[in-house]
Chain A
């Protein structure tokens, strides 16, 4: 492994980390990038410094508690311009699971300009390195330097892929065809990352990855497995993309075959869970809205 100062990306880019009240997850992973050879920031031509006056890149973790806000802003101000700012983990980006607490001041971009976001809770070291590489590219571009050649930027060590395991818990995927609109996912989401909106065309599902803790409670409690975690962990992005990092889908409304009123269709998955077998009768009943179904099966509306 090349020492940082001999790296083709030189001069050496110095990193300064500020803990803004984090749970220490992201910070432990940052410590890993300073000590474990396969994730060492030296391979990106970077090194950590504890002297803000020396730094080029600031990494911030934590939701910015009321208590540390002033100190964090003071530390930040000690890093000279031009500097690139990276937010590590969802806490500084959106407040994460702590958003809306009386003790939390964030998100961080309310107080200072941000360049790169690395979502995750915590993100794996490979994702953090990708964010740092992005910051390095921004810094080089800002100084009119040529972009680094592809070989100069480290590639993440190949995932060994252990048989019988599900692998990294990454980006959540939504399958609108399997969704029944029960909103259990929204109910169990600690990060407030899921919203349903009723629109004319149907029910829109939105999951904002910058508020997602990637915990998988939503997919665990989803009755029809409309939500699944993929292995996609590479989600570092520029600040401009912050609000567009979403997973969306619309369950289109269908007209009731009885009265024509728009209704949410019953997903085939729900029938598979509910019934041992789907008869023609069930298949027909599922195309009726609740009122029509009641009229058909019990002869009238239930009060």
Chain B
């Protein structure tokens, strides 16, 4: 048995984040895996307690650029819960739109990278080009392609005019056919199928033991989606199906994400159709009393949970969050056991790892 250290990043362009793994092998087969985290540890848990609640809206958005909107939106929800603020109905729908737009972009990026790893360059490029429709949409509506700056305490900082709502609707229409095409391609392309079917399996039993959430859990047969289990914002009024697969392999995770992206398009359509009139935020500088609250949301990678304790000032006493990727690293140990070393990059990317989220 031999041990070697495999590095991801910092210089492989498509695998954009640095993470280190210590792999134990017998020949070409993996028998053990250790994850060496902390490359992207920026001390954020400490920083947020040295910043006020307003600064934290922007700071938390930069935990991770792919899940970026979920952090400020869940954080603001926790503050609103402590302060008893009821955000306007319009703000609930606008938050949902921002979250679903990010979900589509994040899932497409992950699927693109998976195609790149399986050597399917043309599919990688195709997925990235389709994703550009979302990127243009974000830049037009929010002013930035990655960090939306959409949230504030009491609601959202952006609004949709009839023109921009029309533009958003047309962009979503443009996404339907390409997404359906990508679903077909990833399901049928022989190279992708060969590399992804039966590879990196996480059984339902192991998925429960590892307490995973999000697409990784749903690909292993666990039908848990925070938007359904603990509805928040507009989700108690939106109609959508959650994507669940049973095989728990790399292929199942790809399929769950692509179907969720497609479903997100229709959720955005519903939001536009049902958008209530009214203000986009309630009261610019609300009073935040002493208290504590929990807020959860379904980020692109799964359940995100925030815990906030306040003391009546605008600095948090304690602010802690647990990202969905957190449990995936341990589940990875189960997924790679018995697999070939050559498949490790693919299996790692199939959990849609978010190292910046995990390391903070």
8 A Cβ contacts from B157-178 to A: 157, 160-164, 166-167
Asked if A72 lies at the interface with its beta carbon under 8 angstroms from chain B, I say yes
Contacts of B14 in A (CB 8 A): 31, 34
Q: A67 to B38, Cβ gap below 8 A?
A: yes
Q: Does A77 contact B (CB under 8 A)?
A: no
Task: Verify B13–A63 contact, CB threshold 8 A.
Answer: no
Q: Is B310 engaged at the interface, CB distance under 8 Å to the other chain?
A: no
At the interface, yes or no: B146 with Cβ under 8 Å from chain A? yes
CB < 8 Å: which of A16, A72, A101 contacts B42?
A101
Task: Assess whether A169 is in contact with B144, with CB atoms less than 8 Å apart.
Answer: yes
Which among B38, B50, B109, B149 is the interface contact of A215 at CB below 8 angstroms? B149
Indicate with 1 or 0, residue by residue over B204-217, a CB within 8 angstroms of chain A CB atoms.
00000000000000
Name the residue among B14, B46, B55, B124 with the largest chain A CB count within 10 angstroms.
B55
A213–B162 alpha-carbon span in the complex (Å): 29
Q: Is the CB of A168 within 8 A of B139?
A: yes
**CB <8 Å contact, B42 and A29:** no
Docked-complex contact B54 and A188, CB < 8 angstroms: yes
Contact (Cβ within 8 A) B11 A50: yes
Say yes or no: is B44 at the interface (Cβ < 8 Å to chain A).
yes
A302 → chain B, closest Cβ, in Å?
Answer: 24
Q: Which residue of A lies closest to B51 (CB)?
A: A190
**CB within 8 A of A229: which of B136, B143, B163, B355?**
B143
Q: How many residues of A contact B (CB 8 A)?
A: 67
A18 touches B157 (CB 8 A): no
Contact of A25 (CB < 8 Å), options: B47, B57, B68, B354? B68
A218–chain B nearest beta-carbon distance, Å: 10
Q: Determine the distance from Cα of A29 to Cα of B68 in the docked complex, in whole angstroms.
A: 14
User: A166 in the interface, Cβ–Cβ < 8 Å?
Assistant: yes
Taking the complex as formed, is B24 at the interface, i.e. its CB lies under 8 A from any CB of chain A? no
By the criterion CB–CB under 8 Å, are B163 and A163 in contact? yes
Beyond A97-B59, A162-B164, A169-B143, is A62–B40 a contact (Cβ under 8 Å)?
A: yes
Select the residue from A16, A71, A100, A229 with max chain B CB neighbours within 10 A.
A71
Chain B: number of interface residues, binned into ranges:
35 or more
Residue B132 CB within 8 A of the other chain: yes
From B9, B56, B144, B355, name the one whose CB has the most chain A CB atoms within 10 angstroms: B144
Find A35's partner among B38, B64, B125 (CB 8 Å cutoff).
Answer: B125
Chain B hits for A103, CB < 8 A: 41-43
Chain B residue contacts of A18, Cβ below 8 A: 10-11
Instruction: Using CB atoms and an 8 Å cutoff, list the residues of chain B in contact with chain A.
Output: 9-14, 16-18, 38-44, 46-47, 50-52, 54-59, 61-66, 68, 109, 112, 124-125, 128-129, 132, 135-136, 139-147, 149, 152, 157, 160-164, 166-167, 284-285, 354-356
26 residue pairs of the A-B complex, CB under 8 angstroms, read A17-B10, A19-B10, A21-B42, A22-B356, A23-B68, A24-B16, A24-B17, A25-B65, A28-B146, A31-B14, A31-B16, A35-B125, A37-B125, A97-B62, A103-B43, A160-B136, A165-B167, A167-B140, A169-B149, A187-B54, A213-B62, A215-B57, A217-B54, A220-B152, A221-B284, A221-B285
Question: Which residues of A are interface residues toward B (Cβ below 8 A)?
Answer: 16-32, 34-38, 48, 50, 52, 62-63, 65, 67-68, 71-72, 75, 96-98, 100-104, 121-122, 124-125, 160, 162-169, 187-191, 213-217, 220-221, 229
